Amino acid sequence: MTATLPEAHADAPEPPDRRTGELTARELGRWGWRQLTSMRTALVLLLLLALAAIPGSVIPQEGVDSLKTSRWQAQHPDLTPIYDRLGLFSVYDSAWFAAIYMLLMISLVGCIIPRLLVYWRALRAQPPAAPRHLSRLPVHVYYKTDEAPGEVLARAAAVLKERGYRLRVSTGSTAGESWVAAERGYLREAGNLLFHLAVVVVLMGFATGGLFGYKGGVIVPVGTGFTNNPTQYDDLDPGSLFDADAMEPFRFTLDRFDIDWIDSGPRQGMARGFNAHLTYYEDLDAPAKTYDLRVNHPLSIGGTQVFLIGHGYAPVITVRDGNGDLVYGGPTPFLPEDAGFRSFGVVKVPDARPQPIGLEGLFFPTYLEVNGDPVNVMGEAKNPTISMLAYTGDLGMDDGDGQSIYELDKSKLTQLKKADGSMFRVDLQPGMTVDLPNGAGTVTFEGVTEWTRLQISRTPGMHVTLGGVVLALIGLLLSLFIRPRRVWVRADVSEGGVTHVDVGGLDRSTAGDVEAEVSQVVAGLRQFDEQAHGPAQPGLAPEKENS
């Protein structure tokens, strides 16, 4: 945006030996620049920005929920390539969205810089001289008085000064040359400019966070730990200029996770009071500290923050293979499928012999069999049960492609069946063990522990953004509620020693309502002679000014 600026304001006199082509190009550039920085263009760009933001709220976004996005893409194979090409899965990072807000920024800066200069001049200028015909102003009051013009104008100056006006007094001797000009409300334009500049600050802060920051998520079962480096994350979404070496070297362990299940009332079954008790070390050799990580109460370590954003169950499952060797053990996070925390999970045992084993199935926190169907009653683990199908064969983990730990690739697996060929399921409650058919091994459900999903993020420039928005709000308030006004008072003596007083008011904002202001000024002017002369006449100009 800054690159185009100097050129646009290059109003240097043109050299005489200029060829015509150059002039045209420059004129074209200038014309284009004027168009771009016009209020109307800014308005259209604003509306375009609003319009462009809509698709992102309708189509699942890669950066917001990539799981949902990939599901949507799988369901709409025809639309996906088109949408993908249009950038509709990441609207807010797309070139066309960026084009709109960059144009808006340029338009804004281009609009603001000339106005800054104008404002700087206006700030030091005197109020403009009184127009010849005050009666032509939107608000005009006229009255006659016995007081001398000097007296009236002195009082006008005092009244207007008291009301916060900047004054300019003319005491000419010729008719129409003695007046007081007054102006106030200079802060409105200052607020306006502040608002627009603050928008630029906000965007810069926002961009800083997006470029240099990162956010990542990790599922941490109770009793396990986490060290802050990229390999430890389940998913990591770094900014394009993010430097992994700059990550704070903290680590923590999740000692305990508390949760309150509401067991009565309209929110029965809802959980609250999540509390993850962490022990953390800010550095490799820093002392241990503890923190109760709760929703809305993130842990800050340096510039990085740790948030509690999810929880679920991790059944502790042990698998022994056909040789009786312990080949798998420990908490296995299952992903909740509904509000009742019926959860889906996968166990992959590539080291089992004679054949690798895969398990896939559900975890029921409170299991109940209703008419032969498994039902999960609530989220609280009152009757924890796992119900899984068992497979043997190639788990496909050696293909080199990263594989989700929550999905079982069954293409090369055989489902285990009972010896009589009927359905075999690993249905276990804590402490129970089942033998897999064909001597494949045994599965033990040791018990249940919980996991928490933590989001860890670093957002540099956050306070710049916040400061920018606050400045924008202050600017907005000034520009909306400060009323810039001009008031002129002219006093002339006519034959007979009667003084004609004209008061004119001009509202320079769009809110208009300068009548009340002028009437108060007039009331101040006439505080001594109201009784003597009756009310002022609205609008009717004295004869001599009629033209």
Partner 1 sequence: MTNQAWETLSNQAVAAAGVVYFLSLLSYLVQWASLRHVPGYVPVERTTSSRVAVGAGAPAAPQEPPAAEAPSYRAEMTGRLGLLLLALACALHLVSLVGRGMAADPNRVPWGNMYEFTLAGTFVVAAMFLLTRRRLGLAWAAPLVVAIVLTLLMVAVIWLYDPVAPLTEALNSYWLVIHVVSAIIATGTFTLGGLCSVLYLVKERRPDTRVGFLSRVPQPPALDRAAYRLHAFAFPVWTFAVLITGPIWAHQAWSSYWNWDPKEVWAFITWVVYAAYLHARATAGWRGRNAAYLALLGVATLWFNFIGINYFSTNTQHGYASISQPGVTPSGRLAK
For the bound state, the minimum distance from the C-beta of residue 68 to partner 1, rounded and expressed in Å, comes to 6
Residue 105 binds to partner 1 (criterion: CB under 8 A) = no
Q: Is 271 in the site for partner 1 (CB under 8 A)?
A: yes
Q: Site residues for partner 1, window 364-383 (CB under 8 A)? A: 379
Q: Is 234 in the site for partner 1 (CB under 8 A)?
A: yes
**Residue 39 found at the interface with partner 1 (CB under 8 A):** yes
136 and 127 Cβ atoms separated by less than 8 Å: no
Alpha-carbon distance of 404 to 263, in angstroms, equals 35
> Which C-beta is closer to partner 1: that of 95 or that of 511?
511
* Structure tokens that stand for 76 in this block: 């709409």
One residue of 61, 107, 392, 499 binding partner 1 per CB under 8 A? 61
Q: How far apart are CA 169 and CA 182, in angstroms?
A: 9
* Nearest distance, CB of residue 416 and partner 1, angstroms: 26
Q: Is the dihedral of CA 239, 244, 248, 254 positive or negative?
A: positive
**136 touches partner 1 by CB under 8 A:** yes
CB of 492 to partner 1, least distance (A): 20
182 vs 440, beta carbon nearer partner 1: 182
283-289-294 Cα angle (round to 5)? 110
When binding is defined by CB under 8 A, the residue of 35, 126, 404, 433 that contacts partner 1 is: 404
| Location of structure tokens 């590539």 | 350
Q: Is 385 in the site for partner 1 (CB under 8 A)?
A: no
C-alpha distances out from residue 144 to 490, 498, 547, Å: 12, 7, 20
- The pattern of x and - marking residues 69 through 98 that bind partner 1 according to CB under 8 A reads -x---------------------x------
**Residue 321 one-letter amino acid:** D
CB of 110 to partner 1, least distance (A): 15
Q: Does 406 participate in binding partner 1 (rule CB under 8 A)?
A: yes
Q: Minimal distance in Å, beta carbon 398 to partner 1?
A: 15
Judged by CB under 8 A, the residue of 81, 114, 138, 150 near partner 1 is: 138
- Say if residue 515 is exposed, middle or buried (CB neighbours under 10 Å; 0-12, 13-18, 19+): middle
> Interface with partner 1 includes 228 (CB under 8 A)?
no
Which distant-in-sequence residues (6+ apart) come within 8 Å of 195 by Cβ?
A: 471, 472, 475, 476, 479
**Residue with token string 């903290």:** 250
- Tell me whether the omega of the peptide bond preceding residue 16 falls within 30 degrees of 0, making it cis: no
Of the candidate spans 52-60, 145-153, 177-185, 436-444, the one that interacts with partner 1 by CB under 8 A turns out to be 52-60
Residue tagged 């929550």 (tokens): 406
Minimum CB distance to partner 1, residue 215 (Å): 6
Return the closest-CA partner of residue 379 out of 417, 416, 343: 343
Segment near partner 1 (CB under 8 A); pick from 3-11, 293-301, 420-428, 494-502? 293-301
Residue 65 engages partner 1 in binding (rule: CB under 8 A): yes
42 binds partner 1 (CB under 8 A): yes
- Quick one: 168 or 526, whose CB is closer to partner 1? 526
Residue-wise burial string across 359-388, b where 16 or more C-beta atoms lie within 10 A, e elsewhere = bbbbbbbbbeeeeeeeebbbbbbeebbbeb
Contacts to partner 1 from residues 197-226, by CB under 8 A: 206, 215, 217, 219
Task: Report if residue 56 touches partner 1, rule: CB under 8 A.
Answer: yes
* Nearest of 367, 388, 404 to residue 443 by alpha carbon: 388
Residue among 416 and 456 whose Cβ is closer to partner 1:
456
- Nearest distance from residue 5's CB to partner 1, in Å? 22
Q: Which of 462, 484, 493, 530 binds partner 1 (CB under 8 A)?
A: 462
Q: Measured from the CB of residue 467, what is the shortest distance to partner 1 in angstroms?
A: 11
Q: CA-to-CA distance for 109 and 454, rounded, in angstroms?
A: 40
Binding letters toward partner 1, positions 511-540, x by CB under 8 A: xxx-xx-xx--x------------xx-xx-
- By beta-carbon proximity to partner 1, the closer residue of 364 and 424 is 364
Q: Using CB under 8 A, which of the segments 179-187, 313-321, 487-495, 510-518 binds partner 1?
A: 510-518
Q: Does 395 bind partner 1 (CB under 8 A)?
A: no
Which of 21, 402, 496, 497: binder of partner 1 (CB under 8 A)? 402
116, 193 Cβ separation under 8 angstroms: yes
Half-sphere exposure of 60 (CA within 13 A, CB side): 14
How does DSSP assign 219-248, residue by residue?
EEETT-EEESSGGG-SEEEE-TT--GGGS-
Q: Does residue number 466 form part of the binding site for partner 1 (CB under 8 A)?
A: yes
Give the helix/strand (H/E) hosting 54. helix 39-58
Task: Report if residue 101 touches partner 1, rule: CB under 8 A.
Answer: no
Choices 23-31, 358-366, 408-416, 476-484 (CB under 8 A): range interacting with partner 1: 476-484
Please say whether the beta carbons of 517 and 505 come within 8 A: yes
C-beta closer to partner 1: residue 331 or 379: 379
Residues 308-367 that bind partner 1 (CB under 8 A): 308-312, 335-336, 338-339, 341
Hey, what long-range contacts does 464-469 have (CB within 8 A, 24 or more apart)? 464/201, 464/204, 464/205, 464/208, 465/201, 465/202, 465/205, 465/206, 465/209, 466/205, 467/201, 467/205, 468/198, 468/199, 468/200, 468/201, 468/202, 468/204, 468/205, 469/198, 469/202
Among 6, 20, 40, 532, binds partner 1 (CB under 8 A): 40
